[in-house]
Amino acid sequence: MKFGYEDLEVWKRAVDYACRVIDTTQSLRTSGRHFRIIEQAEAAAVSISMNLAEGKGRYSKKEFIQFCYIARGSLYETMTLVEIFSRKKWIPVEDFLSLKNEAYEIAAMIKGLINSLKKS
């Protein structure tokens, strides 16, 4: 038996992305003084898949769409923090670019999901 969200490819990608962000934060090249911003990046990354799952569990397409928008906002928040990590040189450029490319793909998947929900 599975939950409905487990069939969503975008949810699977978002979970993988959150794990990558957490792995990245665990290897940041910074002192331990920045706990809040690091925790915020992890929370925002995890929030993407959580909102997709919560939206899938709602009783209307309208609610599901709203949670997709929230998930997209969490993705943008995550990328803003990753951008800051990059500018501070806390992560290698390659890691930043990889996370950014993956974020673009997830954003496109969320947009596709929203569009499909609006049409059905």
In tens, the pLDDT along 51-80 reads 999 999 999 999 999 999 999 999 999 999
Number of H helices, E strands in the chain: 4, 0
Distance CA 83, CA 73 (A): 15
All domains in the chain, ordered by first residue: 4-119 (1.20.1440.60)
Residues 6 or more apart from 56 whose CB is under 8 A from it? 3, 4, 5, 8, 11, 64, 67
pTM above 0.85, yes or no: yes
The answer to whether 3 and 15 are in contact (CB under 8 A) is no
Q: Which amino acid is at 74?
A: S
